[in-house]
Structure 1
Amino acid sequence: MRDLTCKLLVIGAGPGGYVCAIRAGQLGLDTIIVDARPPGGTCLNIGCIPSKALIHAADEFERLTSIAKGSPLGLSLSNPAHDLGKTIDWKDGIVARLNHGVAGLLKKAGVRLVTGHVRFADGKTVDVTSEAGTQRIKAENIVVATGSVPVELPFLPFGGKVISSTEALSLRALPKRLSIVGGGYIGLEIGTAFAKLGAKVTIIEAADRLLPQYPSALSKPVQKRLKDLGVTLHLDARALGMSDDGKALVAQIDGAEQKIASDKVLVTVGRRPVLTGFGLAELGLEIAGPYLKIDDTCRTSMRGVYAIGDITGEPMLAHRAMAQGEMVAELLAGLPRAWDKRCIPAVCFTDPEVVSVGLTEEAARETGIETISGSFPFQASGRALTTEREDGFVQVVARKDTHMVLGVHGVGAGIAELSSEFALAIEMAARLEDIAATIHAHPTRSEAFQEAALGALGHALHL
């Protein structure tokens, strides 16, 4: 196989990597992207997209079962059923369609896609191994975008009954009893979906509440909903391992060891960056904790080597990686770019959904900023009432002196679709008056944002 050369080599075809490559190709840079998996990375293949497909299917089935039990809407049906295997086939079809879409976009931008496993030879050279052999690629610049993988617990190694989110999203038969170790967003998203499909779900969380990385007020409606779905929650608890016969998860709950009968045990205690196994360590790049150290333009400590996405630290979000990738491509093309993001929206696709954008009141106070805030409950939203989902609220946090919006946080059905409006307000340095004066369509859930701003100003109209 002949050696290849290029201006830019991108290692990893996940959201950050493929966006970087596409933008570089659009700007005329000779670009190669390498990955052993189909393009799209964890997010498209085994993460964000598959989980949202499963969540949608579970929501639809739960809606059917709810109607079958009796609906105030005048609707009726009987004996709803689901086939998880068919759901997975449908999910796989979506993933394949998007894989082809990303590959087509890379081709359209003139990017060469090479499939295989990468290993660094030096800071400008990699060897790519595939079934066809080994190929050497030399590049003027390299972007490392290798992403992250689930954290494995030494006392609950993956295999057999113990699974990661990857295996959970490919199960073709519903586990009757699913135990989940970790009450963060990944465990709750998957756990909620399986509970709606009929599994008996138990969640073990070491903290004293669910979603510990989000403001506590946002997690309370989620916790209530989980209990309504029949999910068993054990907080301030700790998983210890599997029982000797392999039939139960052993956990310390309320100071005593208990055995929880489990058909599957899903471990979702976080993700770790992929920095080993392909010769990166030999380059001697500077590290910041478990991540690669970068500056505000994603440069590493070695000239010509950049890093984006999960390997560069929190938040490990696909849209952060995409923004970094686009910036690096434009910098390499000579355009004036910098990382000047006021906020990165975080969304948890639980039921109800959770959105957190910008600063909380507590975080603002810690930096010495005096704030004012306003909240609006969906119980007072006409649109929420007509969809039978009135749980949750929207809160806006602003500077007390200038009324500039610092943060927007909310929980509620479908609120993920408002996350971009919240982020835009902060990016555009909007004031409370700007939000309050913007005419919001009625009846929509977005009116809660306007009403929260009005409330912070002291004159909410519908509360």
Structure 2
Amino acid sequence: MADYDVIVIGGGPGGYVCAIRCAQLGLKTACVEGRETLGGTCLNVGCIPSKALLHASHSLHEAEHNFAKMGLKGKSPSVDWKEMLAYKDDVIGQNTKGIEFLFKKNKVDWLKGWGSIPAAGQVKVGDEVHNAKHIVIASGSEPSSLPGVEVDEKVVVTSTGALELPKIPRKMIVIGAGVIGLEMGSVYARLGSEVTVVEFLDDITPGMDKDIQKTFQRTLKKQGLNFIMGAAVQNVDAKKTKATVNYKLRKDDSEHAIDADVVLVATGRRPFVDGLGLEAAGVKMTERGQIATDHWKTSVPGIWAIGDVTEGPMLAHKAEDEGMAAAESIAGQAGHVNYDVIPGVIYTSPEVASVGKTEQELKEAGVDYKVGKFSFMGNGRAKAVFMGDGFVKILADKATDRVLGVHIMGPTAGELIHEACVLMEYGGSAEDLARTCHAHPTFSEAVREAALACGDGAIHA
């Protein structure tokens, strides 16, 4: 008899959600996690701590730039970096302890240690081997670097090191203009660092809507971030207290160098599968080093995989959805994830959020579409809080009016996008959204106005 119905390897958003859902469905469940706390990268050194620092630094920006405009007079606050880091750590602690409480509440056993799979139906943790009818791999991802760039987490850091620097750097270079690089770059720019972003491509936030890319970069420049685009980093020469980034410009192959106190390597992430014993277990991998799956099943019966170790966007909420779907499938139900409606958010100020197709994707697919666009400068609430930068853009099928994609740059974009998600989940049209009453004054009125712009036209444009 198996020790467990299900053993989940990894206690991050995908893993802990999967474990809890399995337990809710009556399956005897354990979760393997080697960190001292649950929550994985997201809660410990990723999503949650970075949002704490983004909130703190945004509050500082408001005090320095907007308080006086509202008649709030007084000396600008000074930054106590140690206290800010302590606040960030407290936020982490509250969240990770919350997951531990949920495990106890749902009777999920936490097997503390690093897991491996010696054979199908077996998970080894330390010196103990546990039997399970089903194994779910949810081991997440780790930062990836570049050839010639050696990370020491002191001078040359990943997002992990960037969250615990001993002091605020005078100069910071960010390699990579994706979500992590721009969020952390924004934090340190607000705190007074001179931040330069070095990106290989010609646009920031690769894969996002072109209008968003251009407007977003222009806004970040106004906030003090510098950009070197089309630059191929050759190597980083790191000393004890500073580093030099050597790069070539793709347009003319010219060589350049730039110095900084800290270099943040934000060039993406890769599946974390080392030490799991997947090859010996016979689990097939993709060419990109991900676990090959079919509806979260691997090539080995009884072994499942979800989240960052599999194909698709490396997003905590994608992993959570897959965790629930895999749990329901194991329990004999119909697990489902709609991969066409997975939102993405960048938590800078203004926020950027998107869901569904971009214009470029629709053009390449030969889809006949229409565009409805509305600027936050036409939104009364946004202007009242100095957040008029940005817009809402809705892409709808020209024949059916069905919404195919929504892209937002503006205040609380990460919250506003979910109105579009619900609409798209049920195959809604731009007219459905346009005819839905929205409270005034709210930021969400800009979403309705963009929907109106898909028809006869926005009212406040």
TM-score (norm 1): 0.95
- Counterpart for residue 95 of structure 1: 92
Structure 1 residue 252 and structure 2 residue 248: aligned? Answer: yes
Alpha-carbon contact 2:11-2:31 (below 8 Å) kept: yes
Structure 1 residue 156 and structure 2 residue 149: aligned? Answer: yes
Q: Deviations over 1:380-408 (max 9, x none)?
A: 11111101110100011111111111111
**Matched residues in 1 for 2:94 and 2:432: separation?**
41
Structure 1 residue 236 and structure 2 residue 230: aligned? Answer: yes
**RMSD of Structure 2 on Structure 1 (CA):** 1.7
Alpha-carbon contact 2:325-2:334 (below 8 Å) kept: no
- Counterpart for residue 171 of structure 1: 165
Alpha-carbon contact 1:371-1:397 (below 8 Å) kept: yes
- Counterpart for residue 458 of structure 1: 456
Partner SS state of residue 287, structure 1: coil
**Matched residues in 1 for 2:13 and 2:238: separation?**
41
Shift of 1:255: 4.0
Q: 1:139 aligns with which of 132, 135, 141?
A: 132
**Which letter maps to 1:342?**
D
Judging changes above 3 Å, is the alpha-carbon distance between structure 1 residues 293 and 243 closer, same or farther for their aligned structure 2 residues? closer
**Matched residues in 2 for 1:369 and 1:412: separation?**
27
Instruction: Structure 2 unaligned segments of length 5 or more: list them.
Output: none
Partner SS state of residue 224, structure 1: helix
**Matched residues in 1 for 2:310 and 2:414: separation?**
25
**Which letter maps to 1:251?**
Y
- Counterpart for residue 83 of structure 1: 80
Structure 1 residue 411 and structure 2 residue 409: aligned? Answer: yes
Q: Deviations over 1:117-165 (max 9, x none)?
A: 1122111112112xxxx22111110000000000022311111411100
Alpha-carbon contact 1:243-1:259 (below 8 Å) kept: no
- Counterpart for residue 432 of structure 2: 434
**Matched residues in 2 for 1:248 and 1:20: separation?**
43
Q: Deviations over 1:234-276 (max 9, x none)?
A: 0011222234766422222464333322111100001000122
> Alignment identity in percent?
39
Alpha-carbon contact 1:26-1:110 (below 8 Å) kept: no
Alpha-carbon contact 2:177-2:205 (below 8 Å) kept: yes
Shift of 1:431: 1.1
- Counterpart for residue 218 of structure 2: 224
**Matched residues in 1 for 2:308 and 2:379: separation?**
37
Q: Deviations over 1:202-232 (max 9, x none)?
A: 1100111211221121122321222222222
**Which letter maps to 1:347?**
V
Instruction: Structure 1 unaligned segments of length 5 or more: list them.
Output: none
Shift of 1:72: 2.6
Partner SS state of residue 288, structure 1: coil
Structure 1 residue 184 and structure 2 residue 181: aligned? Answer: no
- Counterpart for residue 74 of structure 1: 71
Shift of 1:365: 3.0
Shift of 1:283: 1.6
Structure 1 residue 201 and structure 2 residue 199: aligned? Answer: no
Shift of 1:288: 2.1
**Which letter maps to 1:66?**
H
Q: 2:118 aligns with which of 121, 143, 160?
A: 121
Q: How does 1:33-52 map to 2 (within 5 A)?
A: 33-37=31-35, 38-52=37-51
**Which letter maps to 1:46?**
V
Q: Deviations over 1:342-365 (max 9, x none)?
A: 310011112221111011233223
Partner SS state of residue 339, structure 1: coil
Q: Deviations over 1:172-200 (max 9, x none)?
A: 31011111111111000000110000011
Shift of 1:462: 1.3
Partner SS state of residue 83, structure 2: helix
- Counterpart for residue 307 of structure 1: 305
- Counterpart for residue 53 of structure 2: 54
Alpha-carbon contact 2:411-2:443 (below 8 Å) kept: no
**Which letter maps to 2:212?**
L
Alpha-carbon contact 1:373-1:395 (below 8 Å) kept: yes
TM-score (norm 2): 0.95
- Counterpart for residue 272 of structure 1: 270
**Matched residues in 2 for 1:65 and 1:372: separation?**
41
Shift of 1:439: 0.2
**Matched residues in 2 for 1:155 and 1:459: separation?**
53
**Matched residues in 1 for 2:66 and 2:155: separation?**
34
- Counterpart for residue 422 of structure 1: 420
Structure 1 residue 336 and structure 2 residue 334: aligned? Answer: yes
**Matched residues in 2 for 1:225 and 1:409: separation?**
16
**Which letter maps to 2:415?**
E
Judging changes above 3 Å, is the alpha-carbon distance between structure 1 residues 67 and 345 closer, same or farther for their aligned structure 2 residues? closer
**Which letter maps to 2:55?**
H
- Counterpart for residue 449 of structure 1: 447
**Which letter maps to 2:398?**
K
